[in-house]
Amino acid sequence: MATGQNSDDDTALGRLFARERIGGDARWFSLPGGATLYSPGEPSDELYFLSAGRLGVFRPDESGERSFLGVIRPGEPAGEMAMVAGTPHSGNVVALRDSELLALTREDFFAAADADPQVMNELARLMILRTRQAATQTSIGEPKVFGFVAADRGGAIRPLVMKIARAIAEQGSSVEVIGSEAANAPTEWYSNLEAEYDHVLYVAEAGETLWKGIVGRQVDRLFRIGRGDRPPPPLLETHAADALQQHRLVDLILLQPGDCARPSGSEAWLDATGAARLFHLRRDNLADVQRIARVLTGRSVGLVLSGGGARAYAHIGAVKALRAAGIPLDFVGGASMGAIVAASVAMGWDDAEIDRRIRKAFVESSPLDDIAFPILAMTHGVKVKERLTEHFSETEIADLWLPFFCVSSNLTSGTVQVHRRGKLSRALRASIALPGVMPPMTEEGSVLVDGAVLKNYPADIMRSIQLGPVVGVDVSRGRSINAEEMHRPRHWLSWILSGEWRKGPPIVALLMRAATVSTARDLAAARQATDLLIMPSVDGIDIRDWKAFDPGVAAGEIATREALAKLTRPVTELRKAALPG
Q: Which residues are catalytic?
A: 336, 450
Torsional class of 79: left (φ above 0), alpha (ψ -120 to 50), beta (otherwise) = left
Amino acid identity for residue 31 in this structure: L
- Burial code (b: 16+ CB inside 10 Å, e: under 16) for 278-307 equals bbbbbeeeeebbbbbbbbbbbbbbbbbbbb
The CA radius of gyration of the chain, in Å to the nearest whole number, is: 26
Do 55 and 247 form a contact (C-beta atoms < 8 A)?
Answer: no
Q: Is 169 helix (H, G, I), strand (E, B) or coil?
A: helix
> Is the Cα torsion angle 279, 282, 284, 285 positive or negative in sign?
negative
Please provide the distance, in angstroms rounded to a whole number, between the alpha carbons at the two ends of the chain: 9
* 145 vs 176: CA distance, rounded Å: 10
- According to DSSP H, which parts of 171-324 are helical? 187-196, 209-218, 242-246, 266-273, 286-297, 313-324
* 183 vs 202: CA distance, rounded Å: 11
Q: Is 252 helix (H, G, I), strand (E, B) or coil?
A: strand
Do 74 and 6 form a contact (C-beta atoms < 8 A)?
Answer: yes
Q: Is 466 helix (H, G, I), strand (E, B) or coil?
A: coil
Cβ neighbours of residue 564 closer than 8 Å, sequence gap 6 or more: 321, 322, 325, 327, 532, 571
